[in-house]
Structure 1
Amino acid sequence: MGYILLIFSWSIFYSTHSLFASAKLKRILKAQWAGSQKWYRLFYTIFSTLLFMGIMIQSLFIPVSKFLDQSDLMTYLGYMFATFGTILLVKSTKQIQLKQFLGISAQEKSPHLITTGLYGRVRHPLYLGLILIFLGYVLVSATYTALIHFSCLILYLPFGMYFEEKNLVDQFGKAYEEYQKKVPMIIPKWNKKRGPKPS
């Protein structure tokens, strides 16, 4: 029963993520309530943080049950993936206006398309970092709970990235379409072409 509730909780979390990220919803709110954009993002940040914390607390009450025996190699790889994923998250968030992204910035600045650094290798380094962190957790703990966390993320990401890309095309137009052609979505290509040059 605990696993079913955990899956249900992740379903709510990811569904609300897609809903609040919807460009259509943002346009409706902007038309109905002037100046709502700032409070909208701040509200979503608080809401999603509390919901995520709730899921983590819920996980603590699920009895530990392992799906396979751990080994030193698994543990080593798990920590390596989690560390690399954390580095990706930190480096990618340094390239965006974090305060504005979280909705705590006093100034509203027009967003600009970032195509350099990690974003010149992969369009969604934040998601790639999350995949590695969750995968690392699975390898280190080898529990069914960790496997559900990871599986829900993997199942959601194709839908989440699809809707996010639609919003970005709507926001940046042809510039983002050209960016899509040159830079892979989630699996980086480590070749001599580093992605689009900044305009």
Structure 2
Amino acid sequence: MNTVAESWQGYFPLAIMMIVIASWGLYYFLAPARWREWAGAGLVQAFIIALYAEMYGFPLTIYFLTSILPIDIPLAHPSGHLWATLLGYGPIGQSVEMALGFIFIIAGLIFIARGWTRIYYSGGDLRTDGIYSVVRHPQYTGIFLVIFGQLIHWPTIPTIALSPFIIWAYVHLARKEEAEMVGRFGRSYAEYQRRVPMFLPHWSDVQRAIAATDKP
């Protein structure tokens, strides 16, 4: 078992690389400025570190589960696809779990990137087109999708524990931002609120946004 553990820990340089890349993307695309934004970003940062430290570093969740439950989880890297491992679905289940998780992760990254693009080129104006015609907070929706995808792909006890706090932080932040937007844009934003959902898009709107050419 020690040999297997050492082999797992041999991925640690990859853990550092993934933490650096994901953290850069977090701060580049979200660009926190105020303390509430930094609080949300800090929770996501903790999620990133906890995720990749276990994925490519030390399998804390597997050690913990095997120490308190009467189950035998092989100390091998594919066992980190925990839902398939616990349910006994084997390599095929692990592949399905990973593919399903990646669908949500990629969708989330698209929401984050397109939301950032619209804001970057907005010039301070109210944007209600493109991805903002699908949801009012595409970047936060993207964060939720990425987190959900990672919880499917590679669940760990720390990331599961952090997820509700991240969701609460960004829902609270979105409400504060919307109060400011109503004060700034008045009836225009109130009408936008009535027409477009906050985080969960209508499927017909998603299809329309995918089909449309999304130019800044």
> Which TM class, normalised by the smaller chain length?
0.5 to 0.7
TM-aligned CA distance change 1:170 to 1:189, over 3 Å = same
What CA distance in whole angstroms lies between the structure 1 residues aligned with 2:40 and 2:108?
Answer: 20
Q: TM-score, normalised to structure 2's length?
A: 0.55
Equivalent of residue 163 in structure 2, options 123, 133, 150: 150
Equivalent of residue 110 in structure 2, options 76, 81, 87: 87
The number of equivalent residue pairs is 145
SS of 2:173 mapped into structure 1: helix
Contact 1:18/1:163, CA 8 A, preserved across alignment? no
Percent same amino acid among aligned pairs? 27
**For residue 178 of structure 2, what is the amino acid of its counterpart?**
E
Contact 1:122/1:184, CA 8 A, preserved across alignment? yes
Contact 1:134/1:149, CA 8 A, preserved across alignment? no
TM-aligned CA distance change 1:179 to 1:133, over 3 Å = same
SS of 1:122 mapped into structure 2: coil
Q: TM-score, normalised to structure 1's length?
A: 0.59
- Structure possessing the higher radius of gyration over alpha carbons: 2
Contact 1:18/1:160, CA 8 A, preserved across alignment? no
Quote the RMSD (CA, aligned, Å): 3.5
Name 2:194's counterpart in structure 1.
181
Give the unaligned 5+ runs of structure 1. Answer: 1-16, 22-43, 101-108
Q: Deviations over 1:162-187 (max 9, x none)?
A: 11111111121111111111111111
Name 1:117's counterpart in structure 2.
130
Contact 1:134/1:150, CA 8 A, preserved across alignment? yes
Equivalent positions of 1:1-199 (< 5 A) are 20=35, 53=45, 56-57=48-49, 60=53, 64-66=60-62, 68-70=82-84, 71-72=93-94, 73-97=96-120, 111-191=124-204
Give the unaligned 5+ runs of structure 2. Answer: 1-31, 66-81, 85-92, 210-216
TM-aligned CA distance change 1:50 to 1:150, over 3 Å = closer
CA shift at 1:156, angstroms? 2.4
125-134 or 51-60, which moves further after superposition? 51-60
Query: When you count helix as a share of all residues, which structure comes out higher?
Result: 2
What CA distance in whole angstroms lies between the structure 1 residues aligned with 2:41 and 2:128?
Answer: 27
Contact 1:84/1:129, CA 8 A, preserved across alignment? yes
CA shift at 1:18, angstroms? 9.9
**For residue 83 of structure 2, what is the amino acid of its counterpart?**
D
